[in-house]
Amino acid sequence: MFLLIFPETGKIEVRLHYKYRREKEEGVFMTTASVKLKKGEGRSLKAGGAWIYDNEIAEIRGDYENGDMVFVEDFDGYPMGQGFINTRSKITVRMMTRKPDTEVNEDFIEMRVRNAWEYRKSVTDTSSCRLIFGEADFLPGIVVDKFSDVLVVESLALGIDRWKPVILEKLKKVLAEDGIAIRGIYERSDAKVRQQEGMERYKGFVGEPFDTKVEIVENGVRYLVDVQDGQKTGFFLDQKYNRLAVQKLCKGKKVLDCFTHTGSFALNAGIAGAESVLGVDASQLGVEQARENAELNGLSERVSFVCADVFDLLPELEQKGEKYDVVILDPPAFTKSRSSVKNAVKGYREINIRGLKLVKDGGYLATCSCSHFMDPELFTKTIREAAAGAHKRLRQVEYRTQAADHPILWTGGEQASYYLKFYIFQVCDEK
C-alpha cells in the first residue's frame, strides 16, 4: 500500500499500487498491471539498473499489452517504480521511473529530453554528439545522435518505440530553443536485437527525405558521415576525445591506424602533422569513405588507406621489417556476449602482440576495446599478456573511456553503459 495525492482535486487515497488509478482533466489514465519480483531477485534493479529479466519475475497481475507501462513491486509488495513490459524479450521490463506515482506522459518525456540536452551542453562539443544514450539518460532502449543539423535515431525496445515520435519532437523543440534547426531525421533501427523484441528491423527517413551524406567537423577534422549506410548510426562519436588525445603523439611521426573504418584516427594523426599515415580496414566501403575524407581535408598525400584484413596484414608488415612511431588499434567488438569472451581474449591478445611488434623502441601504442563484456580488468590483463608475448615493456601514458556524451551510469557493481576502454602506452624494448 501507499498514499496517493491528487493535486487537481485534493483527494487523498490509500491503494495497492497495482490497482493505481489517476484522474485527469482529459479523461482517465489507468495502469492496472503489475509485475511482482521473486524473493531475492531484482538485485541489479535495486543497485540502480534499469532491466528486469524474465527469470526474476514471480507473477504479472492485471491486463496489459506488450509495450504498456506497468508497476513493479518487490516480492513483499514494496513499490519499485514503473517500466514498460514486453514478455517476448528476456529483458521483460525496462524501467522508466523509480516513482510509482509519476505519470509517464509527454511532459515527463520532455523533462528527460531537456535534461539530456542540458547535460551535453555542459560536458561536450555539441556540434555533433550523442543526444540520448538509452538507459544512461533514463530513456531505455533508444539512442539519438546529432550530426550537425541531422538526427539519427535507433530504437531497440517495443515500449520506447511507442514514445519515439514524442522523443524526436521534444528534441527538435529543445534544440530550437537554442537556435538549432534540424533539417532531417533518419532512423537506423536495423539491428538484429529488435527481432528479440518482436519488432521488425527498419531503416528510413522520418519525415521528408534529405541528402544522407552529412558533413561534420570534429577536432578540426572534416568528415562526410553516411547516416544511411554507415556502421551503426553512421559515425563513432564515442572516440571523439580519444582521437584528440592521439593527435599530440603524431606530429612528424610514421603512423599505422588499424581498423580505421572511415579514417577517423588516421585523419586526426594527419591533421596533427604526421609525416605519413597508413589506415587499414577490411571494408572496401569504409576505405573508400576514408579516402574521400582524406581528400576533404587536403591530406591525401600524407594519409593513405588500404583494404585488408588486419590480422593478415600485420604479420606481413613485420616480415618486411616495417616499424612505426605510433600504432593505433581500434577493433570492432570481438565479443557481444559472455559466452564468447574466451575467444575474444585470444583475438585481443593476438592483435596487440602483432601491433606491439611494429612499434619502434620508444614509440606509442593506442589500443582499445568497445565490448561491454570485455571488462576493464580482463582487458588490462590481456594487454599485459600481449606485452609479455611481444617482449615489450609498457609505460602507461593515460587511460580513457568513452566521451562524456556517452555517460557511464553507475549501477552498483556493474556499469551497464560502460563499454569503451582506451589505453595509450609508450612501448620500450627489453634492454
Phi, psi of 281 (to 5 degrees): -155, 150
pLDDT in tens, 239-291: 999 999 999 999 999 999 999 999 999 999 999 999 999 999 999 999 999 99
Instruction: Note the residue count of the chain.
Output: 431
pLDDT reported for residue 17: 38
> 250, 368, 370, 428: which one is catalytic?
370
Q: Where in the chain is the domain with CATH 3.40.50.150?
A: 236-429
Cα dihedral sign, 232-218-164-93: positive
Phi, psi of 34 (to 5 degrees): -140, 150
CATH of region 2-97, choose from 2.30.130.10, 3.20.20.10, 2.60.120.10, 2.60.200.20: 2.30.130.10
Gap between the Cα atoms of 80 and 100, Å rounded: 7
Cα dihedral sign, 160-165-166-172: positive
Q: Is 324 exposed, middle or buried (0-12, 13-18, 19+ CB in 10 A)?
A: buried
Q: Is 397 exposed, middle or buried (0-12, 13-18, 19+ CB in 10 A)?
A: middle
Q: Is 262 exposed, middle or buried (0-12, 13-18, 19+ CB in 10 A)?
A: buried
CATH number of 236-429: 3.40.50.150
* Cβ contacts of 209 within 8 Å, gap of 6 or more: 184
Give the CA distances from residue 331 to residues 27, 107, 172, 371, in Å, rounded to whole numbers and listed in that order: 53, 41, 34, 10
pLDDT reported for residue 414: 58
Q: Which of 268, 393, 376 is nearest to 328 (CA)?
A: 268
Gap between the Cα atoms of 6 and 101, Å rounded: 10
Q: Where in the chain is the domain with CATH 3.30.750.80?
A: 106-211
pLDDT reported for residue 151: 98
Per-residue burial over 154-172, b if 16 or more Cβ lie within 10 Å, else e, is bbbbbbbbebbeebbebbb
Gap between the Cα atoms of 419 and 138, Å rounded: 17
pLDDT reported for residue 415: 58
Low-confidence ranges of the chain (pLDDT < 70): 1-31, 335-337, 412-415
pLDDT in tens, 29-55: 346 799 999 999 999 899 999 999 999
Gap between the Cα atoms of 348 and 334, Å rounded: 8
pLDDT reported for residue 344: 87
3 state SS of 126: coil
Pair 421, 379: CB distance under 8 Å: yes
CA–chain centroid gap for 125, Å, is 17
CATH 3.40.50.170: does it fit domain 106-211? Answer: no
Gap between the Cα atoms of 171 and 169, Å rounded: 5
- Please count the other Cβ atoms lying within 10 Å of the Cβ belonging to residue 195: 11
Q: Where in the chain is the domain with CATH 2.30.130.10?
A: 2-97
Active site residue 370: yes
